[in-house]
Amino acid sequence: MKTIVVSAVLLALYLLHFDFWLWQRPELILGLPVGLLYHVVYCVGISVILALLLYTAWQRDLTAE
């Protein structure tokens, strides 16, 4: 079950990386183009999610040696 959840989360993150819905939007938010701001937020979010995956899905017997 854990493998399916981890795989689904990684697939969702992979699909969210392609922000095709922001390609034609020239607005600025906080002085950044909206596409660049999306990727800043995406990178912070994916770092947190991957840290949680590492904490929950890491095999404990590998670090016991």
pLDDT of residue 47: 92
First to last CA, the chain: 26
- Global pTM value: 0.70
Tell me the per-residue pLDDT of 5-61, one tens digit each, with 9 for 90 and over: 878 888 988 888 888 888 888 888 888 888 888 999 999 989 988 888 888 877 776
**DSSP for 11-61?**
HHHHHHH--GGGTT---EETTEEHHHHHHHHHHHHHHHHHHHHHHHHS-HH
